[in-house]
Amino acid sequence: MPTILSHPAVPLGLAIALGPANVSGRLLAAGVFASVIPDLDVLGFRLGIAYSHELGHRGFTHSLAFAIALAVLAATFANRLKSLPLPAFIFVFVACASHGLLDMLTTGGHGIALLWPFSEERYFWPVQVIEVSTLNLRRFFGEAGLTVLGSEFRWVWLPAATFGAIGYAVRRRNAA
């Protein structure tokens, strides 16, 4: 999986591209939360839930159905997020769905239960370029972690920053 440090790159890039008139600070915070919340499923390891179980790591919390549920919640509370319901739904859906889609690009694990509850099959993209992060903190704060962060910089942060910069430039040009 990309680390909890890199999943927020997607909502941050989107917010830069769309601008504060379209993505309030509260909506951005909801998007960042939505981008990392799927990994709460790692608590299942402590509870004895098997990795391959639908409640296990990369199970239902990484599905499009979970992203839709969070997006509906965001749309319901759109006023509190200082947004309209449809933009809140779309922004939070993209932020949450991006988590599983990025995890599908990693070089390890058991894949993502993207289509849960319709299928418990786990999926990867045909190309897997992001180094999978270790769940072991000692290894993460060593050479393995540096390798993972370098991979995430290349495959997550640079594309998100590029998207944000292009969107920002287009907004500025259209405003002039």
pLDDT of 119-141, one tens digit each?
999 999 999 999 998 877 788 88
- Say what the pLDDT of residue 1 is: 61
Q: What are the start-end ranges of the E strands in 10-104?
A: none
- Say what the pLDDT of residue 55 is: 83
Provide the sign of the torsion angle of the four alpha carbons 43, 128, 36, 86, taken in this order.
negative
Give the residues of the chain that fall short of pLDDT 50.
Answer: none
DSSP 26-50: HHHHHHHHHHHGGGGGGHHHHTT--
- Say what the pLDDT of residue 50 is: 78
Cβ-based neighbours of 86, under 8 Å, separated by 6 or more: 75
CA dist., res. 119 & res. 113, Å (int): 7
Inter-axis angle of helices 25-36 and 9-18, nearest 10? 150
- Say what the pLDDT of residue 125 is: 97
- Say what the pLDDT of residue 48 is: 87
